Structure 1
Amino acid sequence: MSHSIIQKDFYRESGKYLSYFQILRKCFSPNLHYIYLFRKAQKHHRKPITGLFYKLLLRHYQIRYGFQIYPETQIGEGFYLGHWGHLVINPKTKIGKNCNIAQGVTIAQANRGKNEGVPVIGNEVWIGPNAVVVGNITIGDDVLIAPNAYVTTDVPDHSVVTGNPAVITPRAHATEHYINNKI
């Protein structure tokens, strides 16, 4: 049985693949509701009428919930927003699968300097509250970015990042017990 990307995103929250109606019931939670609308806006992006409808609806809920994630943003399946509010992701950012992003996170573009550009974030990355990831950098797979970390350099696979400036510590299974219900 093939599961939709929305089912895979919601699997991360519950550990179960849900029916369409079960997913709609879970949309009372702002973070899950936003993920649902985000994926619908992505799916209908190139369709004139439904695309515009979902884009406007997503914009309404961006303002209401404080999530600034655009349909153009490439985010892999199994995306999980742990809490709602005050989240900014540059639309050119690329994020892998099974990633968790907490409230207060900023993933931004650097407009000048040696790291001019946007981040590319690997698979199974956990980004804690109020962390900032900025510039043309690569975050590897299985990386835990601690709360309040300020990341402006590449981070290799299997690492924990803490502090400002960022301190990178290699660690096997860095996101173990942080990223649950992987798809």
Structure 2
Amino acid sequence: MFGRIKKEINAIFERDPAAKSVLEVLLCYPGLHAILMHRVAHALHRKGFIVLARFISQVSRFLTGIEIHPGAKIGEGLFIDHGSGVVIGETAEIGDNVTIYQGVTLGGTGKEKGKRHPTIGNNVVISSGAKVLGSFSVGDNVKIGAGSVVLKPVPPNCTVVGVPGRIVIQDGQKVGSAYPPDLRHDQLPDPIADMLGQMQNEIDRLKQKVNELERECCQLKAKAEGAKE
């Protein structure tokens, strides 16, 4: 138990430059509190103490603003930064060294029974406000941009942005397990801005062509008038 707590604390120091001391992390990080309470609730849930497990998860939600269903399976090294509004569903599975920012939802769709929440791989970064909805897998080393809505499987080593989520980088820069997670979720491509930029370039090109044709017409008109005189 203490070894696992140490890993959770080390994950915070690795990924949050604001963390200054172990005491600060233990007292002031709701993400850590939510994870530790989930470990207890999950153990009770597995032993069949469903109501008690749910009660602990609701107490955790009240104290931290993070709701993790006791049935969710969470690997080691999960870091929930800030954490307010994070929701993790019953059948969600999260791998090792995953980073989740505030407002993230790992949810389901519809009312079907069984596996209905996503499976998140290792070294995944899910940025603020992102929603991952449905029973599918998100591969290792994936980055999901802020506010994205992911509704279908994502292969490893990809960057996903937009609504609905679109893969904009794949295998561009592989993040191996020997390296820390890439947390630069502020440096993501913007396919909409890229498309608007291409359209603007095309409009500028067409305007230039029209101006050239107008000048040629004026020159031809001037020559014709001069020939008549």
Does TM, normalized by the shorter one, top 0.5?
A: yes
Instruction: Say how many residue pairs are matched.
Output: 167
Taking a change above 3 Å as real, the CA distance of residues 69 and 176 of structure 1, as seen in their structure-2 partners, is closer
Partner of 1:125: 124
Higher strand residue share = 1
Displacement of 1:4 after TM fit?
2.8
Displacement of 1:5 after TM fit?
2.4
Displacement of 1:42 after TM fit?
2.7
- Asked whether the equivalents of residues 137 and 153 of structure 2 are also in contact (C-alpha less than 8 Å), the reply is yes
Taking a change above 3 Å as real, the CA distance of residues 55 and 110 of structure 1, as seen in their structure-2 partners, is closer
- Asked whether the equivalents of residues 97 and 181 of structure 2 are also in contact (C-alpha less than 8 Å), the reply is no
Displacement of 1:105 after TM fit?
0.7
**Match of 1:91, as an amino acid?**
E
Give distance in 1, aligned partners of 2:108 and 2:88.
Answer: 9
TM-score normalized with structure 1 length: 0.78
Give distance in 1, aligned partners of 2:129 and 2:83.
Answer: 12
Displacement of 1:59 after TM fit?
1.8
Higher helix residue share = 2
Give distance in 1, aligned partners of 2:42 and 2:88.
Answer: 15
Give distance in 1, aligned partners of 2:25 and 2:89.
Answer: 29
How do 1:16-55 and structure 2 match up within 5 A?
A: 22=22, 26-45=26-45, 46=47, 52=52
Partner of 2:145: 146
Secondary structure class of the residue paired with 1:27: helix
Structure 1 unaligned regions, length at least 5: 16-21
Give distance in 2, aligned partners of 1:173 and 1:107.
Answer: 24
Partner of 1:96: 95
Give distance in 1, aligned partners of 2:148 and 2:132.
Answer: 8
1:4 is aligned to 2:9: no
Taking a change above 3 Å as real, the CA distance of residues 44 and 27 of structure 1, as seen in their structure-2 partners, is farther
Displacement of 1:55 after TM fit?
5.2
Partner of 2:106: 107
- Asked whether the equivalents of residues 130 and 145 of structure 2 are also in contact (C-alpha less than 8 Å), the reply is yes
2:182 pairs, out of 172, 177, 182, with 177
Displacement of 1:47 after TM fit?
8.2
Structure 2 unaligned regions, length at least 5: 15-21, 185-229
Taking a change above 3 Å as real, the CA distance of residues 150 and 89 of structure 1, as seen in their structure-2 partners, is same
Taking a change above 3 Å as real, the CA distance of residues 7 and 41 of structure 1, as seen in their structure-2 partners, is farther
Point out the structure with max Rg over C-alpha.
2
- Asked whether the equivalents of residues 104 and 126 of structure 2 are also in contact (C-alpha less than 8 Å), the reply is yes
**Match of 1:77, as an amino acid?**
E
Partner of 1:74: 73
Q: State the identity as a percent.
A: 29
TM-score normalized with structure 2 length: 0.64
Secondary structure class of the residue paired with 2:28: coil
Q: CA RMSD in A?
A: 2.9
Displacement of 1:44 after TM fit?
4.5
**Match of 2:183, as an amino acid?**
Y
Give distance in 2, aligned partners of 1:23 and 1:59.
Answer: 25
- Asked whether the equivalents of residues 81 and 102 of structure 1 are also in contact (C-alpha less than 8 Å), the reply is yes
Taking a change above 3 Å as real, the CA distance of residues 136 and 148 of structure 1, as seen in their structure-2 partners, is same
- Per mean C-alpha deviation after superposition, the further-off stretch among 64-73 and 85-94 is 64-73
